[in-house]
Each structure stands twice: as structure tokens, then as C-alpha cells.
Amino acid sequence: MTRTILFDSPFLLGFEHTRDLIERAAKAAAEGYPPYNVEQAEDGGVRITLAVAGFSPDQLQVTVEGGQLVVAGRRDAEGKPEADKAYLHRGIAARGFLRTFVLADGMEVTAATLEHGLLHVDLARPEPERLVRRIPIRSVG
């Protein structure tokens, strides 16, 4: 509630984008499946690792859209008689998922690797080009 009041202030004009980013980040934080880690890499990048046991590479999709990293997993029911199995205990989730991460400007996905049931998504923030712009001074009068 405070967040909405803060961004609705008449003194903060043009910050709708920032408010939307915060709301998207809060929504993404509320998601619980699959579990994940976020690590700081030695080269200054970031590695996100998601536990996706039982998913094959063709069942996973990593995309970047609108400043968000979207990782999706879908389960195919075709060819797998899951409904015919009688489980005594079922602790391994067999459902699809959609996990989103809000990216800062300039963040780039450099790689996605599936290894031993863990999906590693590597991100980097390249050093921005240093731009010096000379402003001409004009004389009046």
C-alpha cells in the first residue's frame, strides 16, 4: 500500500515504469516452483540455477521479453501413462512451470545449460560504452 502511495505522488512524474518493475518483481518473488539459487559469478556476472529434475532440454524454454527473463517448463502427457501409475508417495512434482526474473537494463543472457537436473542461466552486464558528448556553446548578442 505504501508503494502505491509513494509512486502516486505528484512530485514523481514519469516513474510509472519503475512502479511496474517493482510490481513485476514482487509478483515473481511470490512464485514458489521450481526452487532456484542466484549466485554472483567471479567475472561480475550472475548465475541463476533452477532445480528442474525430470525435464529434458526440449521441455524447457528460456526467453527474454520486455526486460524479463522467462523460464518455462512444460510436461508432455503424450506417451507417458502417468495416470495409470499408482503412487505410494509422490514427492517429485510433475507439473509445468513459468518462472520470471526482472532484469536490469543492460543485462544479457549469455548461456543456458542443463546439467544433472539443474538448469543454469548465466547473465552478464557488459560495461557500458563511455560516451562523451561535447555541447557547443553559442553566443547570444
Give per-residue pLDDT as tens, 71-93: 999 987 654 556 677 888 888 77
The pTM of the full predicted model, rounded to 2 decimals, is 0.69
Q: CA-CA distances (angstroms) from residue 95 to 16, 45, 75, 124?
A: 35, 30, 6, 30
Ranges 10-19, 44-53, 75-84, most confident: 44-53
Task: Supply the pLDDT for residue 137.
Answer: 92
Q: How far apart, in whole angstroms, are the C-alpha atoms of residue 72 and residue 76?
A: 13
Q: How far apart, in whole angstroms, are the C-alpha atoms of residue 27 and residue 32?
A: 11
Provide the CB-side half-sphere exposure for 82 (13 A, CA): 10
Q: How far apart, in whole angstroms, are the C-alpha atoms of residue 109 and residue 34?
A: 19
Task: Supply the pLDDT for residue 104.
Answer: 86
Task: Supply the pLDDT for residue 17.
Answer: 64
The model's pLDDT over 91-137, given as tens digits with 9 standing for 90+, comes to 877 788 999 898 888 889 999 999 999 999 999 988 878 889 999 99
